[in-house]
Structure 1
């Protein structure tokens, strides 16, 4: 549904996109927390971005990635060979992803944790 609404929003003028995004913010308040499929407005561009459900985790050591995932109830989707970077997802799809990212950021083994957003930008010539 969010993909459809995001596609629909692309066809609207900037003012309509803002009104539509305010509607999304109101709808999101019905279900607490940030979850896969949540929609946010980029305040700089007024474009909408959808939470993919992926969490990008940069650890101090590649060998720590699986332990970090296990302790935060995540599963590793992919890792980058030679780097201590992984894409993770919550084992429970109803988890509050913002809370998970905050917990990861507080973990001393983690350099950085970031929630992945899918923001499509179109340019015309």
Structure 2
């Protein structure tokens, strides 16, 4: 495991996540205020690229900085990212619900989140590794 690459990727993901959340709020307010449907559709199409930047940039950074096994390290960074979000989500939900089945469903959802982020970080880590190999050829 390349601790330097994984930690830098996770820090970059966290910073970009904290920047993108207010951007998404501002974006949703902007779309609500637009009266023309065509312009609203065009502006609304920016929602998805803004929301994926946190895992994409973080995973690409892990892949770019890794010397060996960038996909494995990207998957590990994604799992850590998913665990962090799952812990926050479970803590928020646990305080509001007392039903045991709801808590089990939250654990299952957390497991899916961890798997999803692990896959997405590994995918973007391969892109970062490709960028690094392309630069070394030049």
Fold shared by both chains (TM-score > 0.5):
no
TM-score by length of 1: 0.27
- Name the structure where strand makes up a greater proportion of residues: 1
Structure whose CA Rg is larger: 2
- Name the structure where helix makes up a greater proportion of residues: 2
User: Which structure has more RCO (C-alpha within 8 Å, separation ≥ 6)?
Assistant: 2
